[in-house]
Amino acid sequence: MPDGLADRENATLARLRGTDYARPRCVALIGEIGREVRCGIYRERPGPCREFAPLAEIGHFADACNRARARHGLPPLPVDRD
**pLDDT tens digits along 43-65:** 988 877 877 666 777 777 777 77
Are 28 and 41 in contact by the 8 Å Cβ rule? The answer is yes
Q: Rounded distance, CA 32 to CA 79, Å?
A: 24
Least reliable range by pLDDT among 6-20, 21-35, 45-59: 45-59
pLDDT at 82 over 60: no
For residue 63, being part of any structural domain is answered with: yes
For residue 76, being part of any structural domain is answered with: no
By residue range, what is the domain housing residue 15? 6-71
Q: H/E/C letters for each residue in 28-47?
A: CEEEECCCEEEECCHHHCCH
Beta-bridged to residue 8, according to DSSP, are 14
Q: What share of the chain in percent tops pLDDT 70?
A: 91
pLDDT grade for 30, boundaries at 50, 70 and 90? very high
For residue 46, being part of any structural domain is answered with: yes
Are 53 and 45 in contact by the 8 Å Cβ rule? The answer is no
The count of domains in the chain is: 1
For residue 51, being part of any structural domain is answered with: yes
Beta-bridged to residue 14, according to DSSP, are 8
Q: Which of 14, 43, 20, 38 is nearest to 28 (CA)?
A: 38
For residue 78, being part of any structural domain is answered with: no
pLDDT at 66: 81
